[in-house]
Amino acid sequence: MPELPEVETIAQGLRPLLTHRTITGIPHLAPHLNPQGPNSLIEKLIGQQIQGVSRRGKLLFLDLSPTERIAFHLRMTGRLGMSPAGEPPGAHVHLLINLDNQSALYFQDQRKFGTFRHYTEQELNAWPFYSRMGPEPLSVGEEEFLGRVEGRRGRIKALLLNQEVVAGIGNIYADESLFRAAIHPATPASALSRPRITSLYHALQNVLREAITAGGSSIRDYRTAAGLVGTFQNAFQVYGRKDQPCLRCAESLRTTKVAGRTTCYCPTCQPEPVSG
């Protein structure tokens, strides 16, 4: 699933292509994206000017006005890109939005888990997934991050995956950040000292910034808005490297389950927490 760096990369790629463009038509809208029927939604959107492209957590927004937004959640296989208007939709394309410069935004999603919704600001703020979202990990201050983690119940990786603690972190960047901070993923957050949480804070910020610079991580389906693969997967130190040697100490990497997610770690660099 695309995480913060992937969605941010897509937003950065789409921003100069969509900002100040006017929606002129929606020639293709799959029923599963709008179960209430397409007509009312299409009528709302045609003629609207896109004021900007933004991101919150793993959500990507087309900002139509101060009070109206289109939200995309890419989920597992969702992709956004541009094509010439009038081209027939390609395989697994479930949405086409024509623009006033003869281009079109498409939403492609092989597994159909992704979502596309129009929200007023009031509706968006009433959506629990959005309204309960924690701060952005790249803008949250060190003290606020400490306050959100220190003394909390639960294992530290589970907290990082909890979108109400910080927004946008998934399996890849949780594993990579915990490795850099030398913290075992199953460590209770309450067992972490302030210096270790601070180390995690900086590791998380560094990993995310590096991943954005690399255009995200392309493992299977993810592509940038220009259709390019990201390259941060070439810098993975633990994620997806089970039984391979640790790049720091050469110990074989292991996996465990944390919060139901396969979790890769180094047993030497990230020793298991001592119980009691």
CATH 1.10.8.50 fits 142-265, yes or no: yes
15 is in an annotated binding site: no
What is the reported pLDDT for 38? Answer: 64
Would you state the structure tokens that stand for residue 153, as one six-digit string?
A: 């119940």
* Residue 44, CA distances (Å) to 23, 64, 130, 147, 261 in order: 10, 11, 22, 42, 40
Amino acid in the structure at residue 189: A
Instruction: Tell me the catalytic residues.
Output: 2-3, 58, 261
pLDDT recorded at residue 224 = 97
Contact status, residue 177 vs residue 204, Cβ threshold 8 Å: yes
Annotated domain spans of the chain: 4-131, 142-265
CATH domain 4-131 topology: N-terminal domain of MutM-like DNA repair proteins (3.20.190)
Tokens encoding 240: 């997806």
Q: Which pLDDT belongs to residue 40?
A: 80
Average pLDDT of adjacent 10-residue blocks, the chain of 276 residues: 97 99 95 76 94 98 96 96 91 96 97 94 96 98 98 96 98 99 98 98 99 97 96 98 98 98 98 80
Beta bridge partners of 107: 80, 95
Query: pTM for the whole thing?
Result: 0.96
Q: Vertex 245, ends 242 and 247: CA angle to 5°?
A: 110
Q: 55 labelled as ligand-binding?
A: no
The pLDDT of residue 41 is 87
**Residue positions counted in the chain:** 276
Asked whether the domain spanning 142-265 has the same topology as the one spanning 4-131, the reply is no
List pLDDT tens digits, range 220-271.
Answer: 899 999 999 999 999 999 999 999 999 999 999 999 999 999 999 999 999 9
Q: How far apart are CA 137 and CA 165, in angstroms?
A: 9
The response to whether 223 counts as a known ligand-binding position is no
